[in-house]
Amino acid sequence: MSVKPEDFFKNIISHSKEYGYIFQSSEIYDGLSAVYDYGQNGAELKKNIREYWWKAMVQLHDNIVGIDAAIFMHPTVWKASGHVDAFNDPLIDNKDSKKRYRADVLIEEHVAKIEDKIKKEVEKAAKRFENFDEAMFRSTNARVVEYQNKINEINNRFKTALNENNLAEVRQIIIDCEIVCPISGSRNWTDVRQFNLMFSTAMGSVSEEASTIYLRPETAQGIFVNYLNVQKTGRMKIPFGIAQTGKAFRNEIVARQFIFRMREFEQMEMQFFVKPGTENHWYDYWKENRLKWHLSLGLGKENYKYHDHLKLAHYAKAACDIEFQFPFGFKELEGIHSRSDFDLKQHEEHSGKKLQYFDVEENKSYVPYVVETSVGLDRLFLSILSAAYKEELLENGETRVVLSLPPALAPTKVAIFPLVKKDGLPELAEKIVSKLKFDFNVAYDEKDTVGKRYRRQDAIGTPYCITVDHQSLEDNCVTIRNRDTMQQERINIDALHAYLEDRVTLKSLLKQL
Ligand code: GAP
C-alpha cells in the first residue's frame, strides 16, 4: 500500500503503542521528552536483539569476553576520556522561531539536499538515455560538476572550521549556504555555541562532601578502565575484545524521531585491543563483520550503506557509520571507530597506572590500539521495527497490518488456537503449549474467530500460528500458518518442536554468520 513517508512513520509509532512495544515515559504526566519505556512486547524484542548481538560477539568469538560495568564511574574517567572538555554539540538558535538546532546537522542536511539534486540529474539522464545528444550530456555534466564542487567546498570549509573549533566560521557557512529555519523560514541566526551533553549529579549524602559525578555518555569507558583486570584474569592474548551492553545518557539538544535519538538509551559496544600497526586491518575487518551481522537479519541489503566521517569524535583516528534507511532517510545505525591508544594512554596519565600489554613474541610492552564497534540497541530496535511494519491490501479489500520481524527476534514465536472452545480442543491446545513453552515463547488464544486471532498475532509479529481442530484429535496433526506468506500446512504435533527450532531460534540466525 502506498502511504506518505511521514504518515508511515506516525503509523509505526502508534502501532508500537497499541501493541505493547513502546510507551512514552511517564505518559500519565504528559510524558518526558525523548525518554521511552518498552512494553510487554518491546521488552521481549529488545532482549532478543541484545542476546543475538551478545551471542554473535561473545559466544562466536573465542577471543572476545563480556563484562557488565557500573553506570557511575570515578569523575576523573570523564576528564581523561575527553568528555568533560570535548563532548559537545555546536548549537544555534533561530531568533524568530526560538527553535534550537545542531549547527552541524543543519549543514549536513543542506549537503544531503545537494546530493539529492545530483541523484535526480543522473536519474533524469538515464530515463532519456535513448535520445540523449551531446548537448544534453554537456549540460547535465556541467550541473553535476557544479553541485559536486559546491558540496566539496562546503565540506572542506566545515571540516576545517570544526578542526579549528572556529564556531564563527560554522555560523558563516550557515549564512553563506542561505540555510533557513524550517519553522520561521528566516535566516535570523544567533552565534554558534558549544553545549556539553553529559548529565551530572551529586554523589554523597552531605552536600559539602558530595562530588559531581556523571551519568556515563558511552559504555566504552567501563571497558577501558577494566582493560587490565580482564586481560590479566582472563589471560587474554592480543588481539582480543571486551564487549558490553548497558545504559548511556546524553542531554541531546535536538531529541526527535521517536527512539532514534533519546536522552536515556542503551548501547552495545565492543572494544578490540590490537597490536599497534595492525589497526587498519582490524578496522576493515570489523566494518565488514558488523555489516554482515546486520544483513543476517534479512531486512534488505539495499537498506544499509557505509558513511565515512568527515567530523571525527575527539578520540577517533578514523570512523565510519553503518547507515540504515529509516522512514526519515538514511541515518547512522552503528559506528566503527579506530580509537588508536588514545583512551588507554589518557587513563594511564590520569590514574598513574600502567595499562600495557607484554607481547611475548615481540618481547616488549606496549599500549594496545583499539578498534571499537558501537551500536545503539534502541536505534537497532527502530530499524527492525520500521522495516518489519507493513500495511498490506488483501484481495478481499481488507488491510492487514503485519510486523514481519525476523522470526528469531519476535517476542512470541508461536500462538496456539483451539478452533472452538469445546469438544476437547482447548485441552489438546493446552497440551501443545505445555510441550513447547520451555523452549519457545508461546501464546494461547481462544477468543474470537480464527481470522481475528490471526490478525492479532500478525500485528504483534508472531511468525507462526497453530490451529487445533477436530481432525487433530484423530490424526495428531495441526495446521501451522506462516505469518508472511499466510500459507498453511498440516504437521504432526510431534514434529512441531523441530519445525520451530529450525526457524525461530537465535541459532538459525547465528548459523548465517
Ligand atoms: N563509544 C562510541 C560512541 O558512543 P557514538 O557514535 O556517539 O559512539 C554509538 O554512539 C551509537 O550509539 C550510535 O551509532 C547510535 O546507534 C547510538 N546512539 C548514540 N546516541 C544516541 C541517542 N541519543 N539515542 C539513541 N541511540 C544513540
Dihedral angle sign, alpha carbons of residues 272, 274, 276, 281 = negative
Contact criterion met (CB below 8 Å) for 75 and 184:
no
Protein residue with least CA distance to atom 19, ligand 1: 376
* Ligand 1 atom with minimal separation from the 332 CA: 14
Q: Which residue bears the cell 583512551?
A: 343
Protein residue with least CA distance to atom 20, ligand 1: 261
At 312 the pLDDT is 73
* Residue 8 burial (C-beta neighbours within 10 Å; 0-12, 13-18, 19+): middle
Contact criterion met (CB below 8 Å) for 474 and 261:
no
- The 10 Å Cβ neighbour count of residue 188 is 12
* Amino acid at the residue 36: Y
Protein residue with least CA distance to atom 12, ligand 1: 376
Q: To test the ligand 1 pocket, which listed residue (267, 308, 372) has its Cβ within 8 A of the most ligand atoms?
A: 267
Phi, psi of 91 (to 5 degrees): -115, 155
Cis peptide before 239 (omega within 30 of 0): yes
At 441 the pLDDT is 97
Rounded Cα gap, residues 70 and 414, in angstroms: 36
DSSP state of 367: P
Protein residue with least CA distance to atom 17, ligand 1: 376
At 206 the pLDDT is 65
DSSP state of 197: -
Protein residue with least CA distance to atom 9, ligand 1: 374
Dihedral angle sign, alpha carbons of residues 381, 382, 383, 385 = positive
Tens digits of pLDDT across the chain (513 residues): 567 777 899 999 999 999 999 999 999 999 999 999 999 999 999 999 999 999 999 999 999 999 999 999 999 999 999 999 889 889 999 999 999 999 998 999 999 999 989 988 888 877 776 666 777 778 888 889 999 999 999 999 998 998 888 999 999 999 999 999 999 999 999 999 999 999 999 888 666 666 889 999 999 999 999 999 999 999 999 999 999 999 999 999 877 789 999 999 999 999 999 999 999 999 999 999 999 999 999 999 999 999 988 767 777 788 999 999 999 999 999 999 999 999 999 999 999 999 999 999 999 999 999 999 999 999 999 999 999 999 999 888 889 999 999 999 999 999 999 999 999 999 999 999 999 999 999 999 999 999 999 999 999 999 999 999 999 999 999 999 999 999 999 999 999 999 999 999 999 999 989
Query: How many A from CA of 47 to the centre of ligand 1?
Result: 18
Question: What phi-psi label fits residue 385: left (phi over 0), alpha (psi between -120 and 50 degrees) or beta?
Answer: alpha
Whole-prediction pTM: 0.88
Query: How many A from CA of 348 to the centre of ligand 1?
Result: 25
Which positions ≥6 away from 371 have C-beta within 8 Å?
Answer: 271, 272, 274, 279, 282, 283, 286, 336, 337, 338, 339
Rounded Cα gap, residues 488 and 465, in angstroms: 9
Q: Closest Cα partner for 269 from 314, 217, 219, 222?
A: 219
Q: To test the ligand 1 pocket, which listed residue (379, 380, 385) has its Cβ within 8 A of the most ligand atoms?
A: 379
Radius of gyration of the CA atoms of the chain, in A = 27
Rounded Cα gap, residues 137 and 124, in angstroms: 11
Protein residue with least CA distance to atom 26, ligand 1: 376
Ligand 1 site residues, Cβ closer than 6 angstroms: 218, 220, 250, 252, 261-262, 265, 267, 269, 332-335, 372, 374-376, 378-379
Q: Please, what is the end-to-end C-alpha distance for the chain in angstroms?
A: 33
pLDDT tens, 81-95?
999 988 988 999 999
Q: To test the ligand 1 pocket, which listed residue (102, 374, 375) has its Cβ within 8 A of the most ligand atoms?
A: 374
Protein residue with least CA distance to atom 2, ligand 1: 374
Q: For residue 451, what is the enclosing H or E element? A: helix 450-460
Contact criterion met (CB below 8 Å) for 510 and 56:
yes
At 504 the pLDDT is 97
At 78 the pLDDT is 95
Query: How many A from CA of 248 to the centre of ligand 1?
Result: 9
* Ligand 1 atom with minimal separation from the 262 CA: 24
Rounded Cα gap, residues 255 and 378, in angstroms: 14
Q: Closest Cα partner for 385 from 406, 414, 400, 399?
A: 406
